[in-house]
Amino acid sequence: MAKTAAILLAGGSGKRMKGTVKDKVLYMLDGMPVIAHSAKAFIESGLVGELVFVCRDDLQQAQIGQIMRQYFPGAAVSVKFARGGAERQDSVLNGLMEVSDESAIVFIHDGARPMITKKNVADLYEAAASDGAAVLASRVSDTIKRLPDSCKSARNCVLEDLDRGRLWAMQTPQVFVCSRIKAAYERVREGAIAVTDDVAAYAISGGRVTVVENGTPNIKITNPEDIALIQFIKKGQDNE
């Protein structure tokens, strides 16, 4: 098995939480902080030997370090830290710079997605080991329309249809051969290119990605309502 690392992005500003939660990745959810739920899936998979947490500041780094010692005292993983950047893509590259040279495959995951499972990790690892890159995603079930270029606002437009059968909602983890995604992000930085996720950065260098369909909820905590939804889902799962 190739040596594997996981980067967990934890330094988001959380502006859309509207002050309801001081730090969403440290919020206590079902007995553990959110970031611990994310880390647990990688640890329990047995496939990841290194975790790199990208943190906002020294205080958050110390808090996450304490969480790892408290909840995973015997975990057979090494823990590292990197500092977040101005944008998500800067934070990812900072995390990649801390990944050991021995790690052939790297997972990149938003720490505010606490519902990933060890099966997600295993499925993604298998796909990335075979094809070089993989992303967790779900099929788009809603009908999606696009505003035409000629329409400058959302009023009084002729909407364009998109083929729903070819649309996927991207999630994390997104998984790559480490050297390739690192080179892709270095190219993004050198070209001052803005990207929305790791797959977009990889595509700039011509990289192809395998989509791994996720049949379970994988909510990213962005708004206060997301926490309530996750708690509701988890309560239902516990009662099954």
Q: Is residue 153 part of a domain?
A: no
Q: Is residue 150 part of a domain?
A: no
Q: Residue 227: give the domain boundaries.
A: 4-133+171-238
pLDDT at position 79: 97
pLDDT at position 11: 84
Question: pLDDT of 55-109, one tens digit each?
Answer: 999 999 999 999 999 999 999 999 999 999 999 999 999 999 999 999 999 999 9
Gap between the Cα atoms of 35 and 58, Å rounded: 16
Q: Is residue 163 part of a domain?
A: no
Question: pLDDT of 188-225, one tens digit each?
Answer: 999 999 999 999 999 999 999 999 999 999 999 999 89
**Global pTM?**
0.93
Q: Are strands 133-139 and 210-213 parallel, antiparallel or unpaired?
A: parallel
pLDDT range class, residue 237, cuts 50, 70, 90: confident
3-state secondary structure 51-109: EEEEECCHHHHHHHHHHHHHHCCCCCCEEEEEECCCCHHHHHHHHHHHCCCCCCEEEEE
Residue type, 124: L
pLDDT range class, residue 16, cuts 50, 70, 90: low
Q: Is residue 20 part of a domain?
A: yes
Q: Is residue 151 part of a domain?
A: no
CATH number where 54 lies:
3.90.550.10
Q: Is residue 206 part of a domain?
A: yes
Q: Is residue 145 part of a domain?
A: no
Question: pLDDT of 99-119, one tens digit each?
Answer: 999 999 999 999 999 999 999
pLDDT at position 35: 97
pLDDT range class, residue 152, cuts 50, 70, 90: confident
Question: pLDDT of 132-143, one tens digit each?
Answer: 999 999 999 999
Gap between the Cα atoms of 126 and 235, Å rounded: 30
Q: Is residue 156 part of a domain?
A: no
Number of domains in the chain: 1
